[in-house]
Amino acid sequence: MLKSFAYTLLPFSVCAVCSVSYSQPIATPALTTQIEGPRLDLQRKGTIQQFSMKSKYTPNEYFIQVYIPYTAAPKTGYPVLYMLDGNAVFNNASSIAQSLDGGSEKMGLDPVVIVTIGYPSDTQFSGQQRALDYTPLPKNTPQKDERYQYGGAENFLKFIQNELKPRIQQSIEINPQQQTLFGHSFGGLFTLNTLFKHPQSFNRYVAASPSLWFDQNLLAKQLQQFKPQKLDSKSPLLVMTTVGTAEGRGRSPKGNQTMQSNSDFFREFEALTSDQLKYWHFSHPAEQHITNMYASLPKTILLAACNSTENCEKLFNEK
């Protein structure tokens, strides 16, 4: 059974996200050994470390925050959780991860390194940057808003794979078989798009309130084409999605139709569960779109921390 952990909501402001496109030639991400910037200070375990990064793949600058557990790394290395919207999630996520340090062996949990990807901004949600980075290049006309651009997801993934991951791995002993990606809303769109197009980029995926509407339900089309049984992996992919039950409250009948199509998406995803893919979906009572992000953090960190498929199933397979 899933164990419950307390979480604290932070004050937040929400930025809208919307349209146009940005792209470079598409290539499958691959790790590189060319790394710039200082190494992380491993003597400061249990503390927050942060730095900025510019990418050769995107026009954005990134504010990276890292939590390294107090507890020594397991023999296989630390599991690592990469999280989008870092400005909004780091404080809560690192607090939850710290609460697990050294005291959860009986639950089959390892101490987790938290790496959040944000932007050098005073706001928790950087609308323009995240709209570009988190969305695939649309084939159809997206919701129009001339302030924003869409379509940089492939290049943003290259930044994570080719620039950020090597920076983390040169300094911290990471378990390459236990790397998790978390995203909310447009970040959830990015997470599932990465799963469907580049499933080997991470071992585990968590999408909270993913923007299923984007590009005329692009993710639903990708789901139909996704064949997990063809994955060449030693261990199954672990995938989790979450929604808040109050996300559609007060919407028009059209919005209710969207809610129905979203429910269909999650049911169809569950039908893909196999030896190659383990999938869990959770509806969080009374949570709105933004608050569902925070409600999803305890489960996300538990999924990142559980050190075997069997232990993950013990946590999340509700009786």
CATH of the domain at 111: 3.40.50.1820
Asked whether residue 242 is assigned to any structural domain, the reply reads yes
- Inter-CA distances, 21 with 140, 153, 160, Å: 11, 10, 20
Q: Which of 17-21, 142-146, 174-178, 228-232 has the highest mean pLDDT?
A: 174-178
Q: Report if residue 42 sits inside a domain.
A: no
Cβ 142 vs Cβ 110: under 8 Å:
no
Asked, for residue 18, whether it belongs to a domain, the answer is no
CA atoms within 13 A of residue 88's CA, in its CB half-sphere: 27
Residue 57: pLDDT over 90: yes
pLDDT in tens, 33-55: 344 555 666 555 667 789 999 99
23 inside domain: no
What is the model's pTM?
0.85
Q: For the chain, report the end-to-end CA distance as a whole number of angstroms.
A: 7
- Residue 21 in any domain: the answer is no
Tell the residue number behind the tokens 């995803």, with chain if given.
Answer: 269
pLDDT at 161: 98
Residue 265 to residue 218: CA distance in whole angstroms: 11
Q: Rounded to the nearest 5 degrees, what angle is found at the Cα of 236, between the Cα atoms of 198 and 292?
A: 70
Q: What pLDDT, in 10s, does the model give residues 244-285?
A: 999 976 554 444 446 667 889 999 999 999 999 999 999 999
Domain hosting residue 81, numbered range: 48-316
* Domain contains 85: yes
| β 48-54/78-83 pair status | unpaired
pLDDT digits (tens, 9 = 90+) for 113-167: 999 999 998 777 777 899 999 999 988 766 555 677 899 999 999 999 999 999 9
- Look at residue 1 and tell me if it is in a domain: no
Q: How far apart are CA 33 and CA 154, in angstroms?
A: 20
What are the angstrom distances between the C-alpha of 141 and each of 11, 19, 151, 215, 261? 33, 8, 12, 7, 20
Please write the tens of the pLDDT for every residue from 3-27: 443 333 333 333 333 333 333 333 3
4 is a domain residue: no
Distance CA 234, CA 223 (A): 22
How many domains does the chain divide into?
A: 1
